[in-house]
Structure 1
Amino acid sequence: MINWKVRFKNKNWILAFFAQVMIVAEMIIAGLNSTGLIHFQFTGAMQNSILTFANAVLVILSMLGIVQDPTTKGYGDSERALKYEEPK
């Protein structure tokens, strides 16, 4: 069973979930369009605008320290990671 309360408290999971929902939505729209059920297509300009917006949001969140390493508690490195001379 999935513990949704815990997942929605994890900012990294929320960002990944949002990105995946957007990708699935685009795939559904493309599929419906190819079957003729709807008549809507993403233009190259629309896709670039969506990608640029998503990248800008992620960059801002990264600069604020909100996107963090999910293997550590809080926003800093673990005590063990601070002592690494090279990645394990």
Structure 2
Amino acid sequence: MINWKVRFKNKSWVMAFVAQLLIVAQMLLGGLNALGITDFQLSDAIQQSILTFVNAIFILLSMMGLVQDPTTKGMSDSERAKTYQKPN
């Protein structure tokens, strides 16, 4: 059984989940349009605008430090990681 409470506490997972939901929505709309079920179609310009907007939000959240390393507790680096001269 999936523990959704734990997953939604991981900000990296939430960001990936939102991005995947948007991709699925785009695919469903395209499929429904191809089958003739709906006339709604996202133009390339609208798709690019949505992608740019979502990327800007994710970049802003990352810059604010809301996306963190899930292997450390809290928002800062571990004491061990602070001593690295190059990635371990």
Q: What's 1:76 paired with?
A: 76
TM-score (norm 1): 0.89
2: CA distance, partners of 1:43 / 1:53: 15
Pairs within 5 Å for 1:10-21: 10-21=10-21
Report which stretch shifted further, 46-55 or 65-74. 65-74
Structure 2 unaligned runs (5+)?
none
- Which consecutive segments of 4 or more residues in structure 1 shift more than 3 A? none
1: CA distance, partners of 2:13 / 2:36: 34
Computed over aligned residues only, the root mean square deviation of the Cα atoms, in angstroms, reads: 1.2
Structure 1 unaligned runs (5+)?
none
Q: Relative contact order (C-alpha < 8 Å, sep 6+): which is higher?
A: 2
TM-score (norm 2): 0.89
Pairs within 5 Å for 1:11-50: 11-50=11-50
Residues 1:66 and 2:83 aligned together: no
Distance apart, 1:80 and its partner CA:
2.0
Identity across matched positions, percent: 61
Letter in 2 for 1:30: G
